[in-house]
Amino acid sequence: MKPRQVSRVGRIFADGRRIDEALRLAARDAIRKHEQHNAPVVVWRDGGIAWVPPRELNVKASRKTTRARRLAKRGS
């Protein structure tokens, strides 16, 4: 029996690091936008939703990494 080839997407999902990085960057950018508009962020806390001012959330002020920008451009 021939071994089954795994697609590129299958490899990305199996590894998971790119997905984790994309989610981390998306969350950071969303919090930044909430901060710019002085809007609270809805989070899940203690079994329910909570409205938290963005300044209370820990977000690094650095810009997207070069690698993350490259990945976003490629659509990976």
Walk along the chain (76 residues) and give the pLDDT tens digit of each residue: 667 787 888 888 888 888 899 999 999 999 999 999 999 999 999 999 999 998 888 765 545 555 566 666 666 5
Structure tokens at 5: 């080839």
Inter-residue long-range contacts of 19-23, CB under 8 Å, 24+ positions, other chains counted: 21/68, 21/71, 22/68, 22/71
Q: What does the alpha-carbon distance between residue 74 and residue 76 come to, in Å, rounded to a whole number?
A: 5
Q: What is the pLDDT of residue 12?
A: 83
- Domain locations along the chain: 8-74
CB atoms within 10 A of CB 73: 8
Q: What is the pLDDT of residue 13?
A: 83
The radius of gyration of the chain from alpha carbons, rounded to an integer in Å, stands at 17
Closest CA to 32 of 3, 61, 74: 61
